[in-house]
Structure 1
């Protein structure tokens, strides 16, 4: 199990692989973000995207899937998150892209009110198959303190 004490400030970790499908992009957009450049080939071709692009909210959801898969694979003693800051969509994500993540721990401290809980600040960067940064966000994570 990976606890607060095991987290190193400044460490960058690469993880995940998510292949974006056209079907998933269209399905998500129709349900949650039905803007023409997410659902209509002809309309999207006339925009600066040039073709159908994924909703930024789908990009965030795909990132979250990779983050949770990574946490589960590393058996992290995570306790959730009170939120994120500075979410930015830097470049479009398109169907057929393959995404992966880089995570950097920016700071950590033990909660004053709950000393069994560590508070981590981190930055997650999502990159496409060309190494282009497509999304960034800063997050606060909560993690169990081993207490050794």
Structure 2
């Protein structure tokens, strides 16, 4: 199993989870009755869902090209586990929740066209440094 193939499995997991989150959020926004203009927020989240759907199709195509098949996806209190077969050899990828959630948020922000967490952190660090100087 190459690093690229492990990356494909990881991307498949992240995109699958992100797509489900976007779809759920879109439904909740539409049904909540809390927004004055729900269609704007639904459009934003729907755009993210469309991007993840397209990317997921591409990752599935790449998995097929590498003769890689995801057998099961499991979740527990520790994180997410993907069991796969790569050229008929079984394998497993475990991702702990903190890292998985962090990467999900970074990708979701990118798919929605928002600033990355790093740019937000950089602004906060800059403000903190400025406060120490003053």
Same fold by TM-score greater than 0.5: no
Higher share in helix? 2
Give the structure with higher Rg (CA). 2
- Answer 1 or 2: which has greater strand percent: 1
Q: What TM-score comes out, normalization by structure 1 length?
A: 0.30
Of structures 1 and 2, the one with the larger relative CO (CA 8 A, separation 6+) is 1
What is the TM-score when the length of structure 2 is the normalising length? 0.32
